[in-house]
Amino acid sequence: MAFTFEKTKIPGVIIIQPKVFGDNRGYFMETYKKTDYAEAGIDKEFVQDNESSSSKGVLRGLHFQKEHTQGKLVRVTKGEVFDVAVDVRPGSETYGQWVGVNLSAEKKNMFYIPEGFAHGFLVLSDTAEFVYKCTDVYDPSSEGGIPWNDATIAVDWPKLDCDYKTSEKDEKHESFADQDFSWAKKYL
């Protein structure tokens, strides 16, 4: 198998480490192989790829879509981020809990966040390029979010030597406790 799949405290949220083959010319690695992923329990069809670039301190999230809900396979191709998945599936044993992992171009690790989760990340390096595969298309009419500093979720974001930079939209999300996540029950 070309990957090591590490389970986290939340079932279905997986840290992935590809095997990297390097020599004096550079390196080669597979980032996705359907058969290996299916064997590890990630038997999904990815239909959209996205890429973003951000500077140090940019905090994006915590985002989700109520319709066209997306599972995401994320990785960093430049720099380093702290990536977070929050379980928003009512009735789940881990409802309201989060998992975070440092992803970096150097480590070449990846993170799988299934449908029924909110997702966000904080850029730790001067800049970061973030690439992710999604199981459904982006639909702006069904997007939602949880404040990055929501007291109920209480994500332990890394402290930086600069202020966090968030979008105006991300500052206006309703608290976790005030939202109806019934749309996510079907992902249990």
Query: Is 119 annotated as catalytic?
Result: no
Annotate 43-67 with b (16+ C-beta within 10 A) or e (fewer): ebebeeeeeeebebbbbbbbbbbee
pLDDT tens profile 12-45: 999 999 999 999 999 999 999 999 999 999 999 9
pLDDT tens profile 119-175: 999 999 999 999 999 999 999 999 999 999 999 999 999 999 999 999 999 999 999
CB of 126 within 8 A of CB of 80?
no
Counting residues of the chain whose pLDDT is more than 70, the rounded percentage is 100
The yes-or-no verdict on residue 78 having pLDDT over 90 is yes
Query: Is 32 annotated as catalytic?
Result: no
Choice among 37, 112, 132, 173 that is catalytic: 132
Q: d(Cα 133, Cα 113) in Å, to the nearest integer?
A: 10
How many whole angstroms from its chain centre is CA 96?
15
Helix (H, G, I), strand (E, B) or coil at 33: coil
Closest CA to 58 of 128, 117, 106, 109: 128
Pairing relationship of beta strands 3-7 and 127-134 according to DSSP bridges: unpaired
Residue 85 pLDDT level (bands cut at 50, 70, 90): very high
pLDDT of residue 1: 80
Task: Output the pTM of the full model.
Answer: 0.96
pLDDT of residue 143: 95
Choice among 63, 68, 119, 173 that is catalytic: 63
Mean pLDDT of 95-121: 98
pLDDT of residue 120: 98
pLDDT tens profile 175-188: 999 999 999 999 99
pLDDT of residue 20: 96
Domains of the chain: 47-187 (2.60.120.10)
